Structure formats: structure tokens, C-alpha cells
Chain A
Amino acid sequence: MNLQDIKRFFGNVDYFLLFATFSLCGIGIAAIYSAGVDANGLVVSNEYIKQLLWFFIGIFLLIGASLIDFSRFKDTSWIFFAISVFLLILTLLVGKVVNGSRSWLGFAGLGIQPAEFAKIATVLMLARYLDSSEFDSSFKKLLKTGCILAIPLVLILAQPDFGSALVFFPAAIVMLTLADVDFRYILFGVLSIVGIFIFLSIPLYVQNHPNPILYMLVTQDSILYVVLIFILILSIISSVGWFKFKKPYYYWLSYSLAILAFSIAGATAANKLLKPYQIERLLVFIDPNIDPRGSGWNILQSTTAIGSGGFWGKGFLEGTHSHARYIPQQSTDFIFSIIAEEFGFVGCMVLFALYTIIFVRCFVLMETSKDRFSQFVVGGILGIFAFHFMINIGMAMGIMPVTGIPLYFVSYGGSALWSGLISIGILTGISARRYSA
């Protein structure tokens, strides 16, 4: 790079994006500080200092990531992917168990969560594949994407870290959308996954809400097989109908029946393969209240904190709920509730606005980036950010299941912060280079 290039690079840096990111980090550190203050006003946690430190290191990672021209070296994407897969395997072998998951790699109190970095590496890997596969059929794209995803997914589910594993799907879905994959395929995949979880959770649901018909379904295999065969016959009839009469409703009938059959079969297979406690762990996602004080404690506390914040909020460090220690994982998963309580609706809108800036910049980049590879990378990162936003804030408001997914830039935690900042670095690099030759 000569002086001209450097000048142009800095001239084209997306300062809006950086402003939004750093503001979110700032709000996060303030909220983490607040979360560490107890009811007597004493600072009982030094988490905010650690977060500050990680943030400063993260800035260097951001700059570093922005300086690498990923689209030029896209053929080397597999190296990052391989490294992250290696780290995931290493984690399974020698990782530390935290909260029941073997998800930490490190020593002497320092550690990273390789799953966080695997997200970025997988996005790069997928982008590389989709970039080179313009003429593949939709089906082939879906299949190959599935194969690439499966590697980190299996390793992360084995930890088991269900929340982190989930994030790969929205990233892949956005990227497949950009890759011109037929929507029907994407929809099929999404609905099948949703279906599998619904059917997997029925036994647990029945356990808590006795219902004779559902009970028969889950306890008697024979009935399950009858239902499966019935669905199969129906779908054969409807596909015959489609080929013979070409009426669209036959097509959609067999389409939905296939999804149904896929979901039931997938759930049955998972039920057979996994041990009961493993399923139970996965289903913490659906019935999250591991809290001994009974159902809904986290959500009740979190929604109460948010609602009682009001329009203007109770003021920094004045949140009663947050300091009375009612909410577990205050500084990580439920950081939003402390912001909502202390800064009110206004503060939340500022937070939303900052996130919206990031989303908007991603869209602008997608529309203007000069190469498909960059477009895919931006799409994947956008998918991750948006999904984290949706699940984490939705969970705090009590309208999404509790999955232990952090709010990027705001939640306490070094690995997520770093992977977020690296992602922003990649976006910055792409945007700064988009007009260069």
C-alpha cells in the first residue's frame, strides 16, 4: 500500500459503523458496571474492568481484521475454518466445563470460547463456497452448505452449547438467500428444524400438561408408526396428484407433508440416539426455568425490571431490580434488562438505533460491494448479529426462549466481544475497499 492507498482506505472507512459499535460497547461497559453494584451501593464485581480490557484488545483485533483483504485471499478461507475446527476438537478434549458445557479453551483463568470464532470462520468458508458455486443447482448448494455447517455444528452440540449452535442457521439462511437458492428449499429447511424441535418437545410438554391423545402418541411407538405411514401415503397420493393434474395445491400439500414427515422422523431419530438427559438439556431451550425457585423466575424478573423502567428509566445505578440480585446472568444474558430499567424506553431506543445503524450499514454494503464473496460475508455477519439481537432482547422481554445467547458488544464476555469486533473489522475492511480496484 502506498500513501495514496492508505489515504483512500481511511477516507472510505465506515465511521458510522464504528461509531455505532463503540457506542454499544460503551453502553455495555456501563451496564456491566451497574450489574456489579449490589443493593448497598458497593462494587462487588470487577467484570467491567475485564470487559474494558477486552474492549481495548478487541480494537486491535478489529483494526487487524480490517487490514486483511479477505476477498483477495478468499481461497485461504479454509485455513481459518480448519483452525477453528481444530480448536473445537481441542475444546472437546481438554476444554473446561462451565455451566455444564465443555465450551472453554484455556488455562490459568484465561480462556476463549472457540465456538464464537468458529462462527466467523464458517461464514468465510461458506462465502468462499457459495462464491464459487454460482452455477450449482439450488439443491446442490443446500446440500454442500449443510455439509460445511455440519462439522462445527456437531462439535459445538457435543459440548453441548445449544445456543451457539443455533446461530449458524440464520447466518447460513441469509447467505443462501443471497446465493439465489430457491426459497422453497430454504423454507423447507427452516420449517423442518422448527418441526423437529416441536416434536422433540412434545414428551416434555405432555409431562407437564397431561393430554391423553398426545400421551398416547409419545408413549406408543405403534401409533407413531401408524401416523407416519398415514402421512407417507397421503404424500404419495398428493405427489401423484401433482404429477397427474399439476394443480398447485397438490404440490403444497406434498410439500407440507414432507416437512411434517421429516420433522417427526428427525425427532424420533434424535429421541432414539440421545440419552434422556441430553434431550432434557436441549429442551432447556423450550422450558428454560432451571431456577430452583420455580417456573418463570428469570423471565418474570427480567420483564419486571424492563417494565418498571418506564419512559425515562430509573437512572444509572438506580435500578432496584438489577441491584437486588434477582436476575441471574445479569451481566451476560440479561444485560438488556438492566439497561431497560435504568435508561428506560429512551435508552432502549438509543440502543435499537445503534443496532439499526449496524444493520443499515450491512445492507448498504451488501448492495454496493463489488464482489459476491464480500456480499456473502456481510450477509452471514448480518444474520449472526440480527439473530443475537432478536433472541437476546426477545428473551429479556419474555417473548423468546432462554438460550444463553449474548447481546453482541453489550453483554459481558471476552470471546463474544472479540468475535463481534473482528466481524466489524471485516465489514470495515470490505467497505473501505469497495471502491478500490
Chain B
Amino acid sequence: MIEMTVLQKKITRRIRILRMLIFSLVGVYSVNLFSMQVLRKQLFESEAERISIQSTRIPAPRGEIYDRSGTRLLAGNIEAYSVYITPSELPSAQRKTVVNNLARLLNISTDDIESKLPDPKAYSYGRVVITKNASLAVIAEIATRIDEFPGVSWTSKPLRDYADLGSLSNIVGYVGSITRDEYKLLYNKGYTLEDLTGKAGIELMYEDLLRGQDGWISKAVDVHGKDIAGNAARVQAPVAGKRLILAIDANLQKIAEDALGKRQGSIIVLKPSTGEVLAMVTYPYYDSKVFIADDAGRAYLELLNNTQKPLLNRAYQASYPPASTFKTILTAAILEEEFISLDKTVYCSGEMVYGGRSWSCHVKKPGHGPLALEDALAQSCDIYYWTVGRDYIGVENIVSYAQDFGYGKATNIDLPGENKGLLPTPSWKEETYNEIWTPGDTMNLSIGQGYMLASPLQVANMMAMIVNDGVIYKPHVLKEVRDSGTGALMHEIQPEVLHTSSISAETFEKLRSSLRNVVVNGTPKAAISTKVVQIAGKTGTAEIGLKDRWHSWFASFGPYDAPPKDQVVVVTMIEASNPWEWWAPYAANVIYQAMYAGQTAQEAAETVGVRLEGSLISGRRE
């Protein structure tokens, strides 16, 4: 034998260690097997018996969704029968006749059924859904002739059903079949590929609450899958999903929907003292019902391709230049820190020249004349705000106040897909466009134009903060969670402070009176004609580069003299895509009138003397 080198010795030792490891693995596995198959055999045998049960799922009904009143059902369930074929239980000789008979009964073509069945050669043990919408009569027919239908089974399953939701569709959302990718993420929660999940709105946001827990019917079967006689089926009852009560008032929603009419835009009615969303209308809206119909896929594609984007909830998923409503922010800044003396006037001659171009106020020459803060806000004078924004307040302060009012930040509303808008800053501009921030940018920002974008919900939050003396509550659509059987209250959503401002209460007091003055003496004086309630607010007319049309805003709260808990915030936003009517203040007017006089939108419109269809006007109004 040749003498081994040091290395060889070392390697041989290592091989020995490896051998020991692998042999102990085989040893441990053998011992484990012995323990399983010999020592604990009884245990597994009884387990084997227990497991030889056929389980049928009893789907849990999805939680119902009600409006604020708790009596108006928005989303419920209907019983529908699904018919299945289990290919492995269908003898190939009978396959053709069974398929033919079934097709005739269900009134669908044999090709349809054949296409759903797997290739006869590929063995498959799952059952295949033939239809999900069979009637009770058909099921009864199959049941009486069950001998002729080997391998055919059915289940009754609660299917989602939506009321006539109108614009509520975009809040309630809809359910749809689980996709492969969703399934990968949801399997841990016990979903099956036959399940429906929430895809949008409340249905998506509160999926975990709405979804119940499926039950089972289990019966013992022998090796051949036959019932073992005398063995009662065990039933584990399904647990229904929770009942959700929304903060939305369906009546108010209807009023707002009618007030908006067929105008592309949105309306929000918010309870500032709690953050409850009382109404949220977007137009155009979709109909949740199309998603539970048989051709949901096609309907969805149509909605997706619709250029008016009905799937979008414009109240919080879209953002626009807030225009003159943003002057409220600068006014708050001036009232708080007196960047410019409150009675110091700026002369408006209808236009000013800066940076080599002419900037026109919405009132052309000779303009507003000399204006101090109070009147400048009421008249929405651009020249005043351009001047004070650029020369007195400065971009840093404007941005800081705008942030304080919640711009550029999420409102954390309990609906999916929120648009945070955009609050431009000098550093943002540098990063995005690699351009320096100019005083002209500050001027644009001062009147809520330029890069500035806000969602109507953010504008509503601004007004809520003014009502609440500096507190914004997180806006929410869900009000209560209740037990689906007993209706017992399980959880009530409490107001949650989203943001507390450091601006003084006096400033808010003054700001409220200034905003009241806007309605009494200012731009919307003619439009806000309701006598039943005192309103404060600010208009906005956003330039988006069209000659004769503008985005129209009206952000308001009222009743002006009531304590905050009795006030509401109403924000109306009409896109420039509509023919120009300056409709936003008129719509708010109708809503306040209807709300506080207990009228419908139509009645309210007649009382205040406007036509809901509107009337075209020409020329810009602020």
C-alpha cells in the first residue's frame, strides 16, 4: 500500500463524515417510518377512515351592504344553482347522451358543454362547472331523473346581487372571478378558483369583512366513493360575511346625482365633524350589475375602453387644478401671519405684465380697481393673489400652508386607488423638469393653477378643516359593521383625526366669515340663491387651455351659523369637457336647498329657479 498523503488522509476523513451523515439520514427515516407504519398504525388507520369522506362546500353568503339608514339594501345575494359534471364519474359510453340531455335541459349547446369538459383521455377528478345560473325547475328535473345523469351534480350558491345603484356603483364597486395571479396571493386565506372576490370600491376594500367562511357537508364514503349507509352527513354551517352600513345617505346621493345630471364631474357631501362621506357622485358612472351578468368580461372591456372612463371615481381618483378655491389657502396664510396688511390694497387694472408676458385677471380692463384681502377673495381677483403670492408670501409659505390643509397627501379614504394630487415645490420642479422654479410658477400656484393638482376630496377636506378649526378627520365611507344574521352592531367606525393644524382658531373664525362674505357679496352671489340655509364657500374656474370652457369648482360649507357637528361640506366639480354652464355653484345651490328643505333635486331646482338641465352661458365666470 502506498503511503497516503496528508491531503488524502484528510479527504478520507471527510468522506467518512459524509457517509455517517447520509447513513444516519437513512437511519432516521427508517425509524420514523417504523414509528408511523408499525407503532402508530392504528392512529393513521382511523385517520384514513375519517378522511375517506366526501366533502361538499357550502358557499357562505357574502355580507350585505346597506346605506346609512340601514334599510336601503345596496348589495345582497340571490340563490342561484350551479350545475357540474364530474368527468371521472361519467362513463364514456354514456357521455354523449348525458351531454345532449343536459344541453337540452339547460338550453345551451352541446359544443359549449363539450368545450368545458377535459379531454376524455386525460383523467381528471375535479368537477367542471357547466353553468352557474340554472333555475330551480331545471334542477328539479335533473333530480327526478338523476339515474340518467351520472356524474352530474349541482349546488345552490348565493350569488351577488346589486340594487339599482346609479352613481353608488362607483362606491359599492363589484365582485368578479378570482384571477390566477390573485389566487396565488389569496390561497393562504382559503379561497378557491370558483370564488368571487371584490374588485373595486367597498367590495374590494372590505373584502375580508364581506367574505364569509364556507361550510362543508361531509359524508363518509367507501373505497368506491359510495355512501356508507347509516352514516349521517356531518355539516359545518357556513358563516355569512358581515353586514356593512355605509355612511352614504342614499337619498342625498340621489339628490347630488340629479344635481350633477349628465355632466362629467363629481360631487362630494362630507360631514366635517366625523369625516363621514354622506354622498359621493361621479359621472359617468357604471352599473355594478353588469359585472354579475353572464357576459361580464365583455361589459368590463367596454367600460375599460370607454373614453369617458366610467370606471374612474372622479371624486377621489382624479385630480384637477383647484384654481381659485386655492385662494382660500393664501387667505388663511395672510390672516394668520399678516404677510400683507389686511387692509392694504393691490390695484387691479385687469392685467399685469410679468416675465415678458401679460397676465389677465378674469375681469378684463379696467379690472377690479384697488382691492384689499376681503374683497379680493370675494371677487376672486387674480391680480391681488398673484401679487401677494409672489411678493409677500413666497412659494415656501404657500407650500407649507397647502400641506397643512392636506394637499399633495393621501386622505386615506377607505376606498381603493386614491389620487393624491400634486403640490409642486421648487425642489420637485428641479427634480422633475431640471428647471428652476420661477416667480411666475409662484404666481400660477397662488391661484391654484400651473402644476398644482388636487382631488375634489382634498378640496372637501380643506373646507372640513376650516369648519373644524384646524382638524381634518379621515374621510370614510363605512359607518358600521353589523352581524349579518342578527343585525347586531359589531363595530362602529369612530372619527379618526387625520391632521391637526397649528393655525389659530381666530384665523379660522375670520376665514369662515370671509368665505361667507364670498357667497353674500362675491362671485357666486347670483348662483347661491337658496333661502333655507346660509352657505359659505369659494368658487374656482380652472384654465386648462380651452377658449370657451373651464373646470368649474364650488367648495362650500353650511349652515354657516350652525355648530360644526351640524354642518356639511359640499364640493361640486364640473369638468371642462362639458358645455360651459358654470354649473358647480348652481349644483351646490340645488343640493343645499333640497337637503334643508326636504325636497327632491327637481323640486329644489324649481324653488330656486334653475333648470337641472342647465343653460349654456358664454364667457368665464369666477
Give which listed residue, B10, B26, B188, contacts A356 with CB less than 8 A: B26
Chain A residue total in the interface (Cβ 8 A): 62
Main SS at interface, chain A: helix
Asked if B223 is at the interface (CB within 8 A of a chain A CB), the reply is yes
**How many angstroms from the CA of A46 to the CA of B188 in the assembled complex?**
34
B-contact bits for A326-367, CB 8 A (1 contact / 0 none): 100000000000001000110011001001100100010011
Known A-B contacts A40-B224, A180-B11, A359-B22; the reply to A306 vs B37 at CB < 8 A is: yes
List CB contacts (< 8 Å) of A270-323 with chain B. 276-277, 280-281, 287, 289-290, 292-294, 300-301, 303-311, 320-321, 323
A residues within 8 A CB of B223? 39, 320, 323-324
Q: Are A305 and B184 in contact (CB under 8 A)?
A: no
Asked if A137 is at the interface (CB within 8 A of a chain B CB), the reply is no
**How far is the CB of B72 from the nearest CB of chain A, in Å?**
36
**How many angstroms from the CA of A36 to the CA of B37 in the assembled complex?**
24
**How far is the CB of B24 from the nearest CB of chain A, in Å?**
11
List CB contacts (< 8 Å) of B35-52 with chain A. 36-38, 40-41, 43-45, 47-48, 51-52
Q: Are A281 and B123 in contact (CB under 8 A)?
A: no
B residues within 8 A CB of A45? 123
Known A-B contacts A308-B48, A397-B32, A397-B36; the reply to A292 vs B191 at CB < 8 A is: yes
B-contact bits for A37-71, CB 8 A (1 contact / 0 none): 01110001100000000000000000000000000
Q: Are B12 and A177 in contact (CB under 8 A)?
A: no
Asked if A394 is at the interface (CB within 8 A of a chain B CB), the reply is yes
Give which listed residue, A178, A307, A325, contacts B47 with CB less than 8 A: A307
Asked if A143 is at the interface (CB within 8 A of a chain B CB), the reply is no
Q: Are A326 and B51 in contact (CB under 8 A)?
A: yes
Asked if A386 is at the interface (CB within 8 A of a chain B CB), the reply is yes
B residues within 8 A CB of A320? 48, 52, 223
Q: Are A44 and B88 in contact (CB under 8 A)?
A: yes
**How many angstroms from the CA of A177 to the CA of B12 in the assembled complex?**
11
List CB contacts (< 8 Å) of B1-40 with chain A. 7, 10-12, 14-15, 17-19, 22-23, 25-26, 29-30, 32-34, 36-38, 40
**How many angstroms from the CA of A301 to the CA of B125 in the assembled complex?**
16
Asked if A208 is at the interface (CB within 8 A of a chain B CB), the reply is yes
B residues within 8 A CB of A289? 187-188
Most buried by B among A280, A320, A323: A320
**How far is the CB of B471 from the nearest CB of chain A, in Å?**
27
Q: Are B32 and A348 in contact (CB under 8 A)?
A: no
Q: Are A174 and B18 in contact (CB under 8 A)?
A: yes
Q: Are A305 and B48 in contact (CB under 8 A)?
A: yes
Give which listed residue, B18, B23, B41, contacts A307 with CB less than 8 A: B41
Asked if A390 is at the interface (CB within 8 A of a chain B CB), the reply is yes
B residues within 8 A CB of A94? none
**How many angstroms from the CA of A344 to the CA of B45 in the assembled complex?**
13
Known A-B contacts A301-B51, A344-B37, A363-B19; the reply to A307 vs B26 at CB < 8 A is: no
**How far is the CB of A188 from the nearest CB of chain B, in Å?**
17
Give which listed residue, B10, B41, B44, B192, contacts A303 with CB less than 8 A: B44
A residues within 8 A CB of B10? 180
List CB contacts (< 8 Å) of A205-234 with chain B. 207-208
Q: Are A304 and B37 in contact (CB under 8 A)?
A: no
Give which listed residue, A178, A311, A324, A345, contacts B11 with CB less than 8 A: A178
Known A-B contacts A292-B191, A394-B29; the reply to A363 vs B15 at CB < 8 A is: yes
- What are 19 contact pairs spanning A and B, CB under 8 A? A38-B88, A39-B225, A45-B123, A177-B17, A204-B188, A281-B184, A289-B187, A292-B192, A294-B190, A304-B48, A305-B48, A306-B36, A310-B37, A345-B33, A345-B37, A349-B33, A356-B23, A363-B15, A386-B22
Q: A306-B33, A308-B48 are in contact. List 5 more A-B contacts (CB 8 A).
A: A174-B18, A300-B51, A307-B36, A310-B45, A320-B223
